[in-house]
A and B are shown apart, each in its own frame.
Chain A
Amino acid sequence: MHPEASKLIFEEEVGRWPPDLASARGWVMHELCYPIIDCEFTHPGRTPLRLKLSFDGWDDQPPSIALLSSAGAVLPTLPPNPTNIFNASAHPITGRPFICMAGSREFHTHSSHLGESWSQFKGGPGFGIGDLLTKFWHGWLKGAG
């Protein structure tokens, strides 16, 4: 995917979001500019979780996702009481906890999921940029930490 084409797809998808979507969902957008979405999930009574998604090569490849603290530091361990989309073990490539769900680059590059290539999911329902961010948010909302 040519970077300019990737950028166009990214901007078209993100441009459909209601302007106040982030604030209505408690998402703090630290950065929303191709190829980065740096979004912090917040909710009263919860420890916030910040995800830095890199959409380089979208949508030939899914976003790579780093789990960050509110301050932007890479989390060496998962926040308490996550749901099962969050994997606490060290990813073979990044060496860090990761989101283990189709649509996360770390899922598709993990040795346990090499048979589930992104091409099987790409362009399908639930695998757009907003869909993925919503699914990660849903997964976080169901946690308790």
Chain B
Amino acid sequence: MIEVEKEGELKQDDKHPKTIQASVYTTSGAFPRKGSESVKADDLVQKILEQAQHALHLTDVSGWEATVDGKIIDPNKTYEQNDLTGTVVIHWGPREGGGG
């Protein structure tokens, strides 16, 4: 019986994939403007960056990098693959130049 219940819980988890509260901060504004977006843990981070680019009218984001808590994340991976859970503030902006 216990086994059946556990299986039931797992199935329930599958029906309701883990969600994350995400927001994107740039020096041209934040997306969403207030609060956060509810996103799936298995969504690519790139998806919300594209939404932010559109909403904030960012014309050229080539060479930009995204960081969370000071660490660079890979937008072409999911939140899960980037080890991101809970509430996530993504800072997005141009990468520094090479120095000289």
Contacts and interface: CB of A to CB of B under 8 A. Distances in A.
B3 interface: no
B60 A24 contact: no
A24 B94 contact: no
Q: Which of B27, B28, B65 has the most CB of A within 10 A?
A: B27
A135 B70 contact: no
A141 B70 CA distance: 6
Interface size class of A (residues with CB under 8 A): 35 or more
A84 B30 contact: no
A87 B60 contact: no
A139 interface: yes
Nearest to B58: A125
Nearest to A134: B93
A136 interface: yes
Contacts of B89: 24
B62 interface: yes
Nearest to A107: B100
Interface residues of B, number: 23
A10 B67 CA distance: 26
Interface string B7-40: 0000000000000000001111110000000000
Interface in B29-57: 29-30
B27 A134 contact: yes
Interface string B63-100: 10101001000000000000000000101011111111
Contacts of A101: 96-100
Contact of B25 (A24, A100, A102): A24
A2 interface: no
Contacts of A100: 99-100
A33 to B, nearest CB: 17
8 contacts: A13-B27, A18-B30, A24-B89, A87-B100, A103-B97, A125-B59, A135-B93, A141-B67
